Amino acid sequence: MNRLAQIITKIIDFFYRPFQKWIPEQVFRYAACGGGNMVLDWVLYFLIYNFVIGHEIITFQFSPPGAIFNFQFAQAITPHIATLCIVFPITLLTGFWLQKYVTFTQSNLHGARQLMRYISIVAVNLAINYFGLKLCVEIFGWYPTPSKMLITLITVAVSYFGQKYYSFRVNNKS
């Protein structure tokens, strides 16, 4: 995996050269990794929403085995939220890996601590995504995929500063 990170870094750095006078290297790497992960998110969201979920409401039913009473639990999830639930863990892991091994390589925090902090920042972004999709799709009546794209753009700033100054900060007291 480290070799793959080196290859990705070399490719990003090759494209960085024309921009090095105007953009710090770390910002460029963050934008490239985050942009790649964002495109992955959008593509997976589109494919799963349109070809796996199929625009259908997903209903989960649960009846505990051996229950004394006839108890059943059912939960309906809208297709755009079900798709978000499927895509989120995939892009969470790819995003963490890219940021840890390509963008914020100077951080000396322990990997588990980085991951927990990364997850906390991503949880904030997940909440923004969830409530943003609810607002855009269910209240404004917009299409889910463009709504997801707009909301993702909003979360970029939250994510960058959270990752730089919290998840992957350089800890001088390590």
Higher pLDDT, 156 or 121: 121
Beta pairing class for 58-62 and 73-77: antiparallel
> Do the Cβ atoms of 149 and 132 come closer than 8 Å?
no
Across the chain, what does the average pLDDT equal? 89
> Quick check: pTM over 0.75?
yes
Span 149-158, pLDDT tens digits: 899 888 888 8
pLDDT at 21: 95
pLDDT at 71: 67
| Confidence at 108, pLDDT banded by 50, 70, 90 | confident
Evaluate if residue 46 carries a pLDDT over 60.
yes
Look up tokens 């601590």; give the residue: 113
Evaluate if residue 93 carries a pLDDT over 70.
yes
| Confidence at 103, pLDDT banded by 50, 70, 90 | very high
Percentage of residues in the chain having pLDDT higher than 90 = 59
Average pLDDT for 139-143: 95
Displacement of CA 99 from its chain's centroid (Å) = 12
Percentage of residues in the chain having pLDDT higher than 70 = 94
Taken in order 106, 108, 114, 117, is the CA torsion positive or negative? negative
Evaluate if residue 129 carries a pLDDT over 50.
yes
Evaluate if residue 173 carries a pLDDT over 90.
no
Collapsing DSSP to helix, strand or coil, 127 comes out as helix
Q: Residue 10: is it exposed, middle or buried by C-beta count within 10 angstroms (0-12/13-18/19+)?
A: exposed
Collapsing DSSP to helix, strand or coil, 39 comes out as helix
